[in-house]
Structure 1
Amino acid sequence: MSSIAAIYCPASINTVVNVRRCPRTSFEWKNASIYKNCTSEIRSCVRQTDFVYHCVINTYLNATVEVCASSTNILGNTCAEFNMEGARIQGHVDTVCTSCPFRYPSTDAYKFQSCYNLIKRVQLPTTAEKILSTLPSLQNTTLPSLQNTTLPSLQNTTFTMSPV
């Protein structure tokens, strides 16, 4: 199951920022909320007081994100996620959260740290690794030998220079 009353709000997408970790306590959550300052964001889909700070997993389970979005109830012992396509906070249908209650407000996500532990951070390749991965493999490739190869002689060759 996922959440009830999740509001589609494209303005949320502009507030998404990947973060290394989410707050672990209500004190950290409040400080992060003040810093993010969601009530100052321009939005037309929800009332100013309903556009609030969240720090949740993403749909792909490869990042934690801070986002300003409408709060909603998460149902079914699932972790709260931000869905970019739906532009909303909702329950992540592929997660099972044994520490989560059946129903909780999305702004309480920090209380369920086991959800953040589901993240499989992907190490992005360096530019050099990206370039090398596009080249054909040279493994087990033999190059022709240049041993016993004679090059044409440049002796008695005339070079001319033309004006530029």
Structure 2
Amino acid sequence: MGCSETETRNIGLKMLISVGLAYLLILFKVLKLIYGGSFSCSVSIETVVLVPSCPGNEEEWRKAAKQKNCPAYASKCDNPDKLMYHCVVNEYVNETLEVCAIQQNIVGGYCTEYNRRGNVIQLNYNRKCDSRPLALNPCPKFYLSNETFKYPLCYKLVMTSRPSTESATISSSTNLIEFDNSENVTTSNMDM
């Protein structure tokens, strides 16, 4: 017995739907692997503190992390084991901040930022930390957001002007960022 044209179409449609769902499931798992599941914890915004500089090595990082005591806030998060101490630039790349935030996978060789509006650690699409020729300790193509101390070039970024509140978004800051190449530009944390 052969299948009717309608039955053949139904079988084809069911197969197409099954394959599509399989692809979506795989995409979801890949995105979860890359971004680590939960992106934010509401308690993070309460832990943000402006600091004059960030730790420059692992020993300083451990000391600062111990003092910040992020595990004390972890129970307030959906993903408590990923709430980590971070010291990173803000979304405008004109301040350094300490914050207890969800650890993220940073990909593509970009610097890490904390975005207050999104309450999230993320990569800054406008700044690769390997963009200077012969940069010391450039960012690898993949690293964990709480390991930014290994890439001091990210802390030497400056911004010439701050975008208006209306133009700031949850993605990265606008393309007004540049390296300090002159003596009259104020920089953040150049004495690392």
- Under TM normalisation by the shorter chain, which class is it? 0.5 to 0.7
Q: Which residue of 1 aligns with 2:128?
A: 96
Letter in 2 for 1:55: C
Letter in 2 for 1:119: V
TM-aligned CA deviation for residue 44 of structure 1 = 2.9
Of Structure 1 and Structure 2, which has the larger fraction of its residues in helix? 2
Q: Deviations over 1:23-61 (max 9, x none)?
A: 001000000000000011265333433211000010011
Segments of structure 2 that go 5 or more residues without pairing to the other structure are: 1-33, 131-137, 162-192
The match for 2:58 among 1, 12, 26 is 26
Task: Confirm whether residue 55 of structure 1 aligns to residue 87 of structure 2.
Answer: yes
State the identity %.
Answer: 38
TM-aligned CA deviation for residue 22 of structure 1 = 0.2
The match for 1:79 among 89, 111, 133 is 111
Aligned-residue RMSD, C-alpha: 1.9
SS of structure 1 residue aligned to 2:85: strand
| Runs of 4+ residues deviating >6 angstroms | none
Task: Confirm whether residue 110 of structure 1 aligns to residue 149 of structure 2.
Answer: yes
Structure with greater contact order relative to length (CA < 8 Å, sep ≥ 6): 1
Letter in 2 for 1:4: Y
Q: Indicate conservation of the 8 Å contact 1:57/1:63, yes or no.
A: yes
SS of structure 2 residue aligned to 1:107: helix
Query: Which whole-Å CA distance do the structure 1 matches of 2:43 and 2:76 have between them?
Result: 8
Q: Deviations over 1:124-163 (max 9, x none)?
A: xxxxxxxxxxxxxxxxxxxxxxxxxxxxxxxxxxxxxxxx
Task: Identify if the C-alpha distance between structure 1 residues 116 and 40 changes in structure 2 by more than 3 Å, giving closer, same or farther.
Answer: same
TM-aligned CA deviation for residue 8 of structure 1 = 2.2
SS of structure 1 residue aligned to 2:76: coil
Q: Deviations over 1:75-94 (max 9, x none)?
A: 11110111111111110111
Structure number with bigger Rg: 1
Q: Indicate conservation of the 8 Å contact 1:79/1:95, yes or no.
A: yes
Query: Which whole-Å CA distance do the structure 2 matches of 1:43 and 1:18 have between them?
Result: 24
SS of structure 2 residue aligned to 1:8: coil
Q: Indicate conservation of the 8 Å contact 1:57/1:119, yes or no.
A: no
Question: Please, what TM-score do these two structures have when normalized by structure 1?
Answer: 0.67
SS of structure 2 residue aligned to 1:94: strand
Q: Indicate conservation of the 8 Å contact 1:80/1:91, yes or no.
A: yes
Letter in 1 for 2:40: Y
The match for 1:4 among 15, 35, 41 is 35
Q: Which residue of 2 aligns with 1:14?
A: 46
Query: Which whole-Å CA distance do the structure 2 matches of 1:121 and 1:14 have between them?
Result: 28
The match for 1:119 among 153, 158, 164 is 158
Q: Report how many residues are paired.
A: 120
Task: Identify if the C-alpha distance between structure 1 residues 43 and 11 changes in structure 2 by more than 3 Å, giving closer, same or farther.
Answer: farther
SS of structure 1 residue aligned to 2:67: helix
